[in-house]
Amino acid sequence: MDVNEGRLRILGETAKSHQVAGLITAIYSDLRVFAETKEVKYDKLLLDAPCSGIGVLSKLNMPGGFLIYSTCSIDPEENQGRVEAFLLRHPEFSVDPVDRLVPSSFVTSQGVFLSNPVKHSLDGAFAARLVRAL
């Protein structure tokens, strides 16, 4: 399933070229709408969700360059959790604290930006400034 018709077309063409077109059912739909309106049940689901691409983006960063990872989420798993996982895989990067760049009430103990709807009366957002070693 995909909301992007072009991606489904490419999937269809690829499946055809590999002689597996008959095994695939492509559904052009928004998953949120589909899940609310259809009664179907599956025993296995794989969600290949849109992501920031941070894993491949890092390859484009020159030594000494910065990589900003940002979300519009306040969920620690989508924020600091992802940053920590990334830093474990990429020891050439470290957090460059943002305390000299934004007001201190937005800076977490990890040195990253976090706005909170309750604390700041703003939409929630997260941004970590990472720097690649020289």
Stretch that binds ligand SAM, among 16-24, 25-33, 105-113, 118-126 (CB under 6 A): 25-33
Q: Please list every residue from 55 through 114 that binds ligand SAM, using CB under 6 A.
A: none
Q: Cα dihedral sign for 115, 120, 121, 122?
A: negative
Tell which one of 31, 35, 72, 133 touches ligand SAM (CB under 6 A).
31
* C-alpha span between 108 and 32 (Å, rounded): 33
Q: Does 8 bind ligand SAM (CB under 6 A)?
A: no
Q: Does 52 bind ligand SAM (CB under 6 A)?
A: no
Answer whether 107's CB lies under 8 Å from 70's CB: no
Q: Does 36 bind ligand SAM (CB under 6 A)?
A: no
Choosing from 35, 72, 85, 122, the catalytic residue is: 72
Q: Does 14 bind ligand SAM (CB under 6 A)?
A: no
Answer whether 99's CB lies under 8 Å from 114's CB: no
Size of residue set near ligand SAM by CB under 6 A: 10
30 is in an annotated binding site: no
Q: 88-122 burial, b if ≥16 CB within 10 A, otherwise e?
A: eebeebebbebeeeeeeebbbeeebbbbeeeeeee
Q: Interface with ligand SAM by CB under 6 A: which residues?
A: 1-4, 7, 30-32, 48, 50
